[in-house]
Structures are given as C-alpha cells and as structure tokens.
Amino acid sequence: MKIIKRNGSEVPFDINKISAAIAKANAEVAESDRLTERQIMYASANVADLCEAAGHTVSVEEIQDLVEDEIMRLDCFEVARKYIIYRYLQNQKRQKNTTDDQILALIESNNEEVKQENSNKNPTVVSVQRDYMAGEVSKDLTMRNLLPADVVEAHKEGYIHFHDADYFAQHMHNCDLVNLEDMLQNGTVISGTLIEKPHSFSTACNIATQIIAQVASCQYGGQSISLTHLAPFVDVSRQKIRRQVIEEMNMCGIEPSADKLDAVVESRVRDEIRRGVQTIQYQVVTLMTTNGQAPFITVFMYLNEAKNEQEKKDLAVIIEEMLRQRYEGVKNEEGVWITPAFPKLIYVLEPDNVTEDSPYFYLTKLAAKCTAKRMVPDYISEKKMKEYKLSKGEVEGEGDTYTCMGCRSFLTPDRSGNGYDNVSNAGNYEPGKPKYYGRFNQGVVTISLPDVALSSYGDMDKFWEIFEERLELCHRALRCRHERLRGTLSDAAPILWQYGALARLKKGETIDKLLYGGYSTISLGYAGLYECVKYMTGHSHTDKEATPFALAVMQKMNDKCAEWKAAENIDYSLYGTPLESTTYKFAKSLQRRFGIIKGITDKGYITNSYHVHVTEEIDAFQKLSFESEFQRLSPGGAISYVEVPDMQDNLQAVIRVMQYIYDNIMYAELNTKSDYCQVCGFDGEIQVVEDDGKLVWECPSCGNRDQDKMNVARRTCGYIGTQFWNQGRTEEIKDRVLHL
C-alpha cells in the first residue's frame, strides 16, 4: 500500500510513522491524560485498516484526519488537541511557500497527482513540465489573491471545482468554435505574417493546422473546426489542376476526350485531397503547443453544411479520406499502427447518409468501420439537434446543427437570430443567419451533487436548501471567471480577437462586447447525479421511483442558469462536466468528509454528469434512450456513450447503434478498446490489475507492466486519452460493463 505525500509523490505506507506521530503528541500531555502503548498501536492499526479499505491511494492529509478521529474515539481529547495544534503549526510553516515542493517533485517526475492530471500530457517532457510549473505558480496566486476565500475553501473541500485554476491568472478562456471560413476566405495573420486566401486545397489544410496550433496556444480548452470550410478549396485545386493538365497535354500534342480529361483531373484532385488530409492528421498529432501537448482539436463532418451540390460532393470526398486515414491510424516509435488521440472526429447523421438507400450511406459504413477500430468518429444526430437547438424565430425540427467546442461544450442557440449584428466584425457575416463559428466559452465551475446530498444527511428539505446555497456559490465563482475576462485587450491574443478565429476587433479594443448577449457562454458544470439520487432515494436514477427526483435536480440547475442569464445578460448554461482528475478529487473529498458509504462513496471516482453508473447492467439502446432526456436538460454540453467489445467483425451492429442515435439522442459515441504491447506485440485489451493496493496496467499475454512499453487508448471524458490516468479514473475504467 502506498500514500501520497504533500508534494504529490508516492511512498510506501509506514504504520510506524503514524504511531510515532501519536506518541509525540502523547508525550506533551499530563501522564493521567496519556494513551497507553497498547492504545497507540490500536489507533495506528485502525488507521492502517481504514487506508487499506479506502479504495484509493490516500493522502497524508487524509491519514492525519483519520488519526485525529481515532484519538478522539479513545476519549483522549488532550492528546488529540496537541496533535491538532502540531498539525496546524506545521501547516502554517508550509503556507509560507506553497509551490516549491510541488514544482521540485514534478521536475523529478515524482508528483503522481500532477503526472496523472491530464491523460494527454507526458509529464516527463520538459515542455509539459514548464507548463505545469507555470500552472503551480498560477494556482497558488489564484487561490491566495484572485478568488474569494469561500470559493477557495469550497474548491479545496470538494464542494465545487474551479476548473483550470492553473490558467486563471492570465486573461484566458476555455473553448472555441473557430471561424476557419473567415480566416481562409478573407485572410489572417500568424506571428506577424499576412496569410492570404490559399490557392489550393493542400495549402488551405496547411494553413488550417497553423491556425489550430496558434489558437491552442492562446486558450486552454478544446477547439473545433469544420471540414466544410475547407471544401471550397477542392474546386480551386480542381480548376488549377485542369489548367495544368490541359497545358501538359497540349505540350505533348494530345487532344483528350472530355471524359479522359475529367478522369485525369479528378485523379489528381483525389491525390491532393489525400495529401491535404494527411497534413491535418499528422500535423495535429505531432504539433506541440505552448502548454506541452497536441491541440485539443475536434473536426466536424457535416454534409448538409455545404453551400451547393458540388461543394457537398467535394466535402464527401474529404470526409471519406479523413475516415480512411483515421482507420489506418498512425505509427508508433516501433512502426506499429496505433490509435491516435487527436483530432477528435464528429460525424453528423442526416437523411442523406443514415439509411442503406441514402446516397452517402457508404460514408456511414466507413465511419462504423473506423469507430469499431479507432473509437472515432463520434455521432451527432441532425434530427435531434434540429429539435433542441432553436435560434430566435425557429421552430422544433427546423433548428440548427453545429459542432461542440472541443469534446462536448455546446454554444447556446443564437438568441439574436441575426448573427448578433456582427458584433465580432467577422468577414463572413451573413445578415439574418444564426452565428456559431467565432463564438466561445468563458469557463467552467462544477458542483459536486453527491456532496450536496451527503451534506443533507438524507433530509429532502435540507437538500434543496443546501443545493440553493451551493449553486449560488458556483454562480459567484463563475462571475469571477467572467470578471477576469472583462477588460481583456484584443492584443492579448491577436489570432483570436484581431485576425478572425473569434473576431476582428481593433488593436487596443477590449473583448467585453463578446462576453454579453449570448455571443459567448459560461458553464455551470455538474457531476455525480447517480450518487446524489442513490443517496437521497435509495435507488439508481434509472429506477422509475427515482427518475423524477433526478430530473428535478437537473431542472433546478437549468432554472438557476435561466435566472442568472435574465438578470445579467450572460449566457449561463448547464454543462455535463467531463471529469478527468476531478472525479478522483471529488471521490476522495467525499470519503474524507463522510466515510465509506456502500454504493455512494466506496469508489475512487464519482459518475460523470448524468450518466448511468458504469457498473449498472443496461443494454446500449436502453442506456441511450434513458440518457437522452437528461442530455436535453444539459444544453451547455454533454455526451453519452455505450461500452462495446471488439466490433470489427460485427459492423452491422455498430450501424444499428448509429441509426438508433439518429432517432433518439443528439450526441453519442461508442467506446471500444485499442491497445498494443510493445514487449510481445499483443494487440488485444491491456487489462487493469491490482498490485499492493494500487491499480496498474498489465499485458495479459506477457505480463508487461511498464507503461512506457505499451500503448493504451481509452475514452474517459469525451477525448481519447493515451498517457494513462489517476487511480480514481483507472478504477472507473476497470469497473465498466459492456452495453452491447
């Protein structure tokens, strides 16, 4: 068994250190108030047992809490008081400099919590370490000087989570929906260099990857681009290639037939599309932004977004090539084809591709094949989205279809109905058309729903009272995010605010007008609906007796967002948080404060957003149907998934699930496995096993446990992770049951 020290490093558990600490406090009280040697050993043994049963690697602070409890349980309150005073004085000494130990530990790769904070960052690489070092300093500054004390305390105690505190000191925001069309059609500026409208598809793809890298270096969340914005450049290349072919044939004295000329031209166009898509695929994987990782980029594939029939056909070819190359994968250092984490792909299911007799069904079959092997693309239902996302003046069924910003954060519909009168000065503004590209999210604060429930001790009236208080705390924390962005000059990130990614503001102009009126969103996140409902009702939220309460909780959060929005003209929106490291943090907080409660706090994780618990037996179609109602009540972003086995030999079943998604839920994905052992060449599922109280990854073929010698890809929070996860998330992965 191991413990986590204050600097984040892991060391073996040592019961002697516990007994020694108790003995020191014991020696400072009168002999009549002291514990006996037997009591000291008894208390130490109890702490050891509790640590063993915790279900996760405990921290020093958790152990000290347990020690206090055990001393008081023996009615030796004077000893407990001395122990608490000693602990307080030591903590005061540490408060004088809160970052040194953490920074030194992460430089030496000893800080386990930081190492596993982000499953797409390699903490042994100096660029990642540099970002983490800056993050530790920023978090310290944020918590000491920039946030109200009660928000900081609530974050530390795990009532709420103030996301991305490591970037808060800077005037940075969360997610973007990049206006790539404006930047390509009307030009942009990158690093002081004017980039004009490209004259070929391959050049457009190259510029797009440069834009992606620049945007990723100026914000901390996900970003999305649409392949539709690249599609017009296919015909630009086609006309250029046609001229070249005619010139070449004339030089050779050849007069080809129209059919032969078209065939040669289209062959070369296809080759250029292949090279352009390869640029995007490989550049995104190999780029490293200033925060030490590949850009968190999502690529949107939506046929009905094309402006004319020729553009739609060209877009279909781009989508086909994107899927083919993603199916192939990328080679690792051993030359083996593996599943890359990025870019995330989203494929829109629509009437033109969802049934066997539809003209683009061949793309859907290719998407199914790719999903079965590489876990992408994910799927958006045009049908359901047009029911849910209604801009001003639109009616259900005739709404808007657009991509999320990154993995799941969705913009609110355009409540202006006219593109916000082009407040961003975009070069591709179309009066009367709803606007999505160029908008962004200001940030996220997440409430722990299980903590609200447990704090009420099952009293329903008390639950709603505490819920109201915690939501207002989240509201004030979100206002801190908003106020931090107010007054930001466009000069802070020219690629975003001056050169078209989000706006074309003047130099020296603030971004304030983009923070109001719905142009940008700000997200109230939530986590652990399952555990909250289970504690308050005794049932899973899938149980008919408990579902109404679950829906009432969701509606309450939506009502608060609507209330704040009406009062402040800021688009607050409810967001199903993609917990990564936070799932472990919240779980540890609940265990520390409320102990181990079967079915509620007995795991090293809590359930993401509204999801059905990962251990609950439910089939794929029931799960998607049940979660669809909750997804609709999470308009600021959410995604559902079904866990499936190897489906490469059963693509018809994958397609059936996709068709069910089209008819029943707006946004969903299929989770498969895609692993490789570099020691023995095993390419099945790498398993999670327990070793001395810690969960580790092991090849079932050769027993390899060296994470540096295996490639594991799992979807844990919308994106695919490839750098492994903390103990809580690893436990959640291990507990997952199949839905198909």
Count Cβ atoms within 10 A of the Cβ of residue 330 and give its class: 0-12 exposed, 13-18 middle, 19 or more buried.
Answer: middle
Q: How confident is the model at residue 124 (pLDDT cuts 50, 70, 90)?
A: low
pLDDT of 395: 96
Chain-centroid distance of CA 342 in Å reads 13
Is the pLDDT at 100 greater than 70, yes or no? Answer: no
Is 91 known to be catalytic? no
Backbone angles phi, psi at 113, to 5 degrees: -65, -45
CA angle 473, 477, 483 (to 5 degrees): 140
Is 441 known to be catalytic? yes
pLDDT of 102: 64
- Cβ neighbours of residue 26 closer than 8 Å, sequence gap 6 or more: 34, 35, 40, 76, 79, 82
- Cβ neighbours of residue 699 closer than 8 Å, sequence gap 6 or more: 677, 679, 680, 682, 686, 687, 705, 710
Q: Could you say which of 575, 662, 667, 676 is catalytic? A: 575
- Give me the chain's average pLDDT, please: 91
Encoded tokens for 485: 């962005």
Is 174 known to be catalytic? yes
Encoded tokens for 627: 């979660």
Cis peptide before 198 (omega within 30 of 0): no
Is the pLDDT at 112 greater than 80, yes or no? Answer: no
**Residue range 210-230: average pLDDT?**
95
Question: 109, 124 in Cβ contact below 8 A?
Answer: yes
Chain-centroid distance of CA 411 in Å reads 15
**End-to-end alpha carbon distance in the chain:** 36
DSSP collapsed to 3 states, 245-298: HHHHHHHCCCCCCHHHHHHHHHHHHHHHHHHHHHHHHHHHHHCCCCCCCCCCEE
pLDDT of 105: 62
Tell me what percent of the residues of the chain surpass a pLDDT of 70: 93
**Residue range 365-389: average pLDDT?**
97
pLDDT of 611: 97
Is the pLDDT at 501 greater than 70, yes or no? Answer: yes
Secondary structure E strands in 13-95: 58-59
**Beta partners for residue 643, in sequence order:** 671
Which residue from 235, 254, 225, 211 is spatially nearest to 308, judged by alpha carbons?
235
How far apart CA 89 and CA 15 sit, in angstroms, is 23
Which residue from 139, 98, 145 is spatially nearest to 117, judged by alpha carbons?
139
Q: Could you say which of 7, 9, 111, 409 is catalytic? A: 409
Is the pLDDT at 219 greater than 60, yes or no? Answer: yes
**Residue range 440-463: average pLDDT?**
98
Cβ neighbours of 582 (radius 10 Å): 25
Give the tens place of pLDDT for each residue, 318-350: 999 999 999 999 888 888 888 888 899 999 999
Q: Could you say which of 143, 407, 647, 666 is catalytic? A: 407
Cβ neighbours of 268 (radius 10 Å): 17
Is 610 known to be catalytic? no
**Residue range 700-718: average pLDDT?**
89
Encoded tokens for 445: 């604060």
Encoded tokens for 469: 């208080």
Is the pLDDT at 107 greater than 60, yes or no? Answer: no
Q: Could you say which of 441, 628, 640, 704 is catalytic? A: 441
Is 175 known to be catalytic? yes
**Residue range 259-269: average pLDDT?**
96
Give the tens place of pLDDT for each residue, 265-319: 999 999 999 999 999 998 888 875 555 567 889 999 999 999 999 999 999 999 9
- Cβ neighbours of residue 714 closer than 8 Å, sequence gap 6 or more: 671, 673, 720, 721, 725, 733
Q: Could you say which of 580, 669, 698, 731 is catalytic? A: 580
**Residue range 471-488: average pLDDT?**
98
Give the tens place of pLDDT for each residue, 144-194: 899 999 999 999 999 999 999 989 999 999 999 999 999 999 999 998 999
Residue type, 76: C
Give the tens place of pLDDT for each residue, 567-576: 999 999 999 9
Which residue from 221, 116, 223, 103 is spatially nearest to 163, judged by alpha carbons?
221
Q: How confident is the model at residue 116 (pLDDT cuts 50, 70, 90)?
A: low
How far apart CA 162 and CA 475 sit, in angstroms, is 11
Is 580 known to be catalytic? yes
How far apart CA 114 and CA 99 sit, in angstroms, is 13
How far apart CA 385 and CA 400 sit, in angstroms, is 7
Q: How confident is the model at residue 108 (pLDDT cuts 50, 70, 90)?
A: low
pLDDT of 59: 83
**Beta partners for residue 298, in sequence order:** 224, 344
**Residue range 104-125: average pLDDT?**
57
**Beta partners for residue 714, in sequence order:** 721
Q: Could you say which of 51, 143, 175, 301 is catalytic? A: 175
Which residue from 242, 226, 235 is spatially nearest to 314, judged by alpha carbons?
235
Tell me what percent of the residues of the chain surpass a pLDDT of 90: 74
Is 206 known to be catalytic? no
Query: Which run of H or E residues covers position 670?
Result: strand 667-671
Q: Could you say which of 44, 174, 381, 455 is catalytic? A: 174
Give the tens place of pLDDT for each residue, 71-84: 988 988 889 888 88
pLDDT of 392: 95
Q: How confident is the model at residue 54 (pLDDT cuts 50, 70, 90)?
A: confident
Which residue from 141, 54, 97, 221 is spatially nearest to 717, judged by alpha carbons?
221
Is the pLDDT at 593 greater than 80, yes or no? Answer: yes
How far apart CA 158 and CA 586 sit, in angstroms, is 6
Give the tens place of pLDDT for each residue, 502-537: 999 999 999 999 999 999 999 999 999 999 999 999
Is 458 known to be catalytic? no
How far apart CA 43 and CA 53 sit, in angstroms, is 15
Which residue from 575, 613, 609 is spatially nearest to 222, judged by alpha carbons?
575
Q: At what angle do helices 449-456 and 581-594 cross, to 10 degrees?
A: 10
Q: Could you say which of 604, 693, 718, 728 is catalytic? A: 718
Is the pLDDT at 451 greater than 70, yes or no? Answer: yes
